[in-house]
Amino acid sequence: MAIFKGAGVAIVTPMKANGDVNFEKLSEIIEDQIAGQTDAIIICGTTGESSTLTHEEHLEVIRHCIKQVAKRVPVIAGTGSNCTETAIYLSKEAEEAGADAVLLVTPYYNKATQKGLIAHYTAVANSISLPVVLYNVPSRTGCNLAPATVAALVRDVENIVGIKEASGDISQVAQLMHLTEGKIELYSGNDDQVVPLLSLGGIGVISVVSNVAPKYMHDMVMKYLDGDMQGSMKMQLDAIPLCKALFCEVNPIPVKAAMNMQGKEVGPLRSPLTEMEPENQKLLKNIMKDMGIL
């Protein structure tokens, strides 16, 4: 049984003006997401600024999310690291806290070989009993998870069950689904490629756009899965300007700006990320107005 089908939100981590995590606001935006029919909460991923959270904060945010969600939707904890032992530590703690699955980004900066990736993922997955979702985003990590590597991991490691694919390479995704014989839970990691990946056997998206439009993204996926491919395709194409605007600067700069425009008061970003440029904010605001989400 799939961890989830539909649109899971790669949720932001709200901050106070002084840079501390705003746990009260996190509870509010989690409730907004559940009310908006989001299908899963993905906590402490890239969009959640996990790279600038201490290990203690990282785990505190995961625990808070799990407690707030209270099993109403699945919680997938981002516990990846470029250090295998750190990923094992975070994953064990997330399992103990009650997460439903973990999301493991490829090791960044040190750029492991494919052999190294197999060893890394096998060690982390074997340290827990939770389902594992791999996360391939070479534009950020400098490390590509090859289809043959994914196929080997899915074949040999029982609890590696899914992948968030954000390579942007549709041919690579097709090869991945061919080599795994479709026996993997495929989630788009790019909001502008949801329908193309659904057409290759995908079952959903782990979405940045869902932070500002959870029901829209949920409906787009569900239309496709329910057989309304034309309706889903129209929603995908209509959302392209918003997708582009939310990635015109490094994620999560634009999405936090968008949520603050919506009055959600998710606060600033942690350095070295900076606030969105005024001209880009103006463009984003106009697109959100056009879509009726502002």
As a dihedral over the C-alpha atoms of residue 278, residue 280, residue 286, residue 289, rounded to 10 degrees, the angle is: -90
Cα angle vertex 291, ends 137, 78, to 5°? 25
The answer to whether 184 and 202 are in contact (CB under 8 A) is no
Closest CA to 271 of 15, 12, 11: 15
Q: What letter would DSSP give residue 21?
A: B
- Which residues sit opposite 204 in a β-bridge? 6, 187
Backbone angles phi, psi at 188, to 5 degrees: -70, 135
**Is-catalytic flag, 256?**
no
The answer to whether 52 and 18 are in contact (CB under 8 A) is no
For the chain, how far is it from start to end, CA to CA, in angstroms? 36
CATH number for the region 6-228 comes to: 3.20.20.70
From residue 164, alpha-carbon distances to 70, 145, 211, 218, 280 in Å are 24, 11, 17, 17, 28
Q: What letter would DSSP give residue 293?
A: -
Closest CA to 5 of 200, 202, 157, 144: 202
**Is-catalytic flag, 164?**
yes
pTM of the model: 0.97
d(CA 10, CA 285): 21
pLDDT of the chain, 294 residues: tens digit per residue:
899 999 999 999 999 999 999 999 999 999 999 999 999 999 999 999 999 999 999 999 999 999 999 999 999 999 999 999 999 999 999 999 999 999 999 999 999 999 999 999 999 999 999 999 999 999 999 999 999 999 999 999 999 999 999 999 999 999 999 999 999 999 999 999 999 999 999 999 999 999 999 999 999 999 999 999 999 999 999 999 999 999 999 999 999 999 999 999 999 999 999 999 999 999 999 999 999 999
d(CA 35, CA 25): 15
d(CA 272, CA 294): 28
Closest CA to 69 of 103, 87, 42, 102: 42
Choosing from 108, 135, 187, 216, the catalytic residue is 135
Dump strand ranges (E) for 68-203. 75-78, 101-105, 132-136, 160-165, 185-188
d(CA 255, CA 258): 5
As a dihedral over the C-alpha atoms of residue 135, residue 43, residue 40, residue 73, rounded to 10 degrees, the angle is: 140
Choosing from 164, 223, 256, 264, the catalytic residue is 164
